[in-house]
Amino acid sequence: MITIEDVIKNAKLNIDARREALIRSAYQTALSAHAGQKRKSGEDYIQHSLHTALNLAKIGMGSKTISAGLLHDVPEDTQVTSEEIEKKFGSEIAKMVDGVTKLGKIKLRGTKEENYLENLRKMFLAMAEDIRVVLIKLADRLHNMETLESLPPEKQERIARETLEVFAPIANRLGIGEVKVRLEDLAFKFLDKENYQYVSEILAEEKEEMKKYIDIMIADIRKELTKEKITVLDIYGRSKHFYSLFQKLKKHDMNIDKIYDLAGIRIIVPEIVNCYETLGIVHKKYRPLVGRIKDYISLPKPNGYQSIHTTIFGPAGNFLEIQIRTKQMHDEAEFGIAAHWIYSEKKKGFRNFFFREKAKVPEKEIAWVKQLREWQNELGKDDKELIESLKIDFFKNHIFAFTPQGDIIDLPEESTPIDFAYKVHSEIGHRAMSARVNGKMVPLDYKIKNGEVIEIITSRDHKNPSRGWLNFVKTSAAKSHIKKFMKKEGMI
């Protein structure tokens, strides 16, 4: 059982007296409204409200969002109305609670296909309205998954699949690594009990030996870094999460010997320059595995993730992954968009932040959220096309490609030079004639690989989108531009 003290104590932001009073008032309202209510697990309903708020506090949300987390089920499940919440806590909190209530009515599994598509559309459009509503929903879903045992098997399966297919990818796209892996592991446990058990046994077998080995490695690395006067903010061992290990095992015919990052060490240092210095020191001490060095600092992942990863040969001949990052990078990897929000506001000063909690998340962080709205406007009521776009542009893994000038273009996997061209500019897409990848000519339906340099050769004289392009382009932006052009020219 947790208390409101746990929520306040775990807040990442320095909650002042006024903000603390707001959270406590929301708690008292929720406690009174849910009095006598029990969950299927048998616990008092207020425990769910508290766990939701605690999850929000841990990822760095402010007092208004935490308060909305405490109140998120009040209008739906009690006699207290939305109007009463607005009167007591203001329109901003009331709108968040109302947004979560609406999302709660969306059932993404076990519905007719057309309802499923319409409901999924509503889910994504809610994100475009206020990202905090979706963060509350993720916090709510996390606790629901932690107590899923108490529901009937058919509900367990529906909720777990919905979690794996929709909520975990949303957490990933928002960069909230900690929530993503917990949702995946919990869903995996209910959807594939046999393989979950198999993976848990593998990790259990390796656990003791890995811990001893990692403890020795940590001591050695810390000693080397101290000798070179590198400040270490934190250094600790980490093991693979259940679901991500299973995904890797599937790629390697379930052969555990082919998994190089079963265990690893994470090193947190103060500055970016220290990350590269640390990498050099680690490589001087241990031989790196060729082709296993990934610099996500100079080339971040599309969700903003930054870190350096290297796999080394340890003293006992074991492979070990080392991750090196700054404190800010670590917070952003764990808490995603919430951390970006906090760090951007810290620069302006905490006092400013407290009086402007509705400060916007940096524009670049939510560009893809705005794109959701644009898709809806472009596609109208064509739900199937919208969902197909979401599956590719949102859920699919992303890659980076470069322009010849070195600009980074973020694309879904299996994108083509035409997708690349339209991502740069619609006119470049319309005028594309051919393409070079790393200096070599390729067909326009070539599938771009991560890190390749793409040069689009265009026609100055005429625009030439082809109907055939629609058969191989992947992104909704490319499809939309091609169709618009063809309609304008009377080609369709």
287 neighbors 247 (Cβ within 8 angstroms): no
Set 76, 157, 385, 388: catalytic member: 76
Question: Cα separations (Å) of 313 from 124, 181, 259?
Answer: 44, 27, 13
* Rg value, the chain, Cα: 25
What's the rounded Cα separation, in Å, for the pair 463 and 125? 34
Tokens (6 digits) for 193: 């009990």
Q: Point out which residues pair with 410 in neighbouring strands.
A: 400
Question: Cα separations (Å) of 254 from 108, 251, 260, 335?
Answer: 31, 7, 13, 31
* 3-class SS of residue 266: strand
What's the rounded Cα separation, in Å, for the pair 482 and 475? 11
What's the rounded Cα separation, in Å, for the pair 220 and 265? 12
**Which of 134, 69, 64, 73 shows the shortest CA–CA distance to 93?**
64
As to burial, measured by CB atoms within 10 angstroms (0-12 exposed, 13-18 middle, 19+ buried), residue 36 is exposed
**Which of 65, 59, 7, 62 shows the shortest CA–CA distance to 336?**
59
As to burial, measured by CB atoms within 10 angstroms (0-12 exposed, 13-18 middle, 19+ buried), residue 400 is middle
**Which of 173, 65, 170, 68 shows the shortest CA–CA distance to 120?**
170
Tokens (6 digits) for 278: 């640390």
215 neighbors 343 (Cβ within 8 angstroms): no
What's the rounded Cα separation, in Å, for the pair 380 and 384? 11
Phi and psi (nearest 5°) for 293? Answer: -100, 120
Tokens (6 digits) for 96: 């968040």
Set 44, 77, 385, 414: catalytic member: 77
What's the rounded Cα separation, in Å, for the pair 357 and 359? 5
- 77 carries an active-site annotation: yes
Known catalytic residues are 76-77
